[in-house]
Amino acid sequence: MSDAPLSRWEQGGEKNTGYARRFAELVESGADVDGEARLADTLVPRHARILDAGSGMGRVAAYLQSRGHRVVAAEPDHRLVEQSRQMYPDLAVLPHDILGLTDDVLAAAGAPNAFDLVVCVGNVVTFVADGTEVAVLRRLGELLRPDGRILVGFHLQGGPETARRVTPEQFAAEVAQAGLLVDHRFGGYDLRPVDDQYAVWILRAAT
């Protein structure tokens, strides 16, 4: 773990445990939980290097690994790391938050430190610790290969009560501060038009 202050996810405590339960049930029932991962798969060449930053119970990273990509999953919540390891035993998970994903940590894990795609979906950017939003985005940008991109998704309305409310304008300003550019914004992982409910962003480094 890094020295970062408590994330909103950690502060939410038991209020956030519904996520783990809900996705376990969805997977068990055969529901489609791969929408984010299918979009991610279209953004990269075959056998790409992909980082799933805030991988939760592992559904996105596991799908991408099953497609033949070299996936690094990173998740700081030890309960979710445990759930992920039980549900997807072939998926290695680094028990670190984004700011804790230093070059040394990645090297020690035998992981690359530059990726074709960083996936940061499911409200992760609205759950990071207050005051770390720009630093987190900057670190994700540092982890990109030259043509690499970042896929981000979060609720604008109706999201988890413990997450930060952020407007598209606020987020775009944080993206710019972090030295990133917005390539695209959509209203969902099916690339529906922009709306006021959910925001999907494809970002890249400014230089």
Please give the residues from 173 up to 202 whose contact with ligand SAM meets the rule CB under 6 A: none
Which is closer to ligand SAM, CB of 98 or CB of 106? 98
Cα separation, 163 vs 77, in Å, equals 15
The answer to the question of residue 122 lying near ligand SAM (CB under 6 A) is: yes
Which is closer to ligand SAM, CB of 12 or CB of 207? 12
The answer to the question of residue 9 lying near ligand SAM (CB under 6 A) is: yes
Q: Contacts with ligand SAM: how many residues (CB under 6 A)? A: 22
Please give the residues from 52 up to 71 whose contact with ligand SAM meets the rule CB under 6 A: 53-56, 59-60
- Work out how close the CB of 57 gets to ligand SAM at its nearest, in angstroms, rounded to a whole number: 6
Cα separation, 178 vs 187, in Å, equals 23
The answer to the question of residue 116 lying near ligand SAM (CB under 6 A) is: no
DSSP code per residue over the chain: --SPPPPHHHHHGGGGHHHHHHHHHHHHHT----HHHHHHHHTS-TT-EEEEET-TTSHHHHHHHHTT-EEEEE---HHHHHHHHHH-TTS-EE---GGG--HHHHHHTT--S-EEEEEE-SSGGGTSPTT-HHHHHHHHHHTEEEEEEEEEEEESSS--TTSPP--HHHHHHHHHHTTEEEEEEESSTT-PPP-SSEEEEEEEE--
- Work out how close the CB of 179 gets to ligand SAM at its nearest, in angstroms, rounded to a whole number: 18
- Work out how close the CB of 14 gets to ligand SAM at its nearest, in angstroms, rounded to a whole number: 14
Which is closer to ligand SAM, CB of 122 or CB of 141? 122
Among 41, 97, 116, 174, binds ligand SAM (CB under 6 A): 97
Tell me which residues touch ligand SAM (CB under 6 A).
7, 9, 19, 53-56, 59-60, 75-77, 80, 97-98, 121-124, 127-128, 136
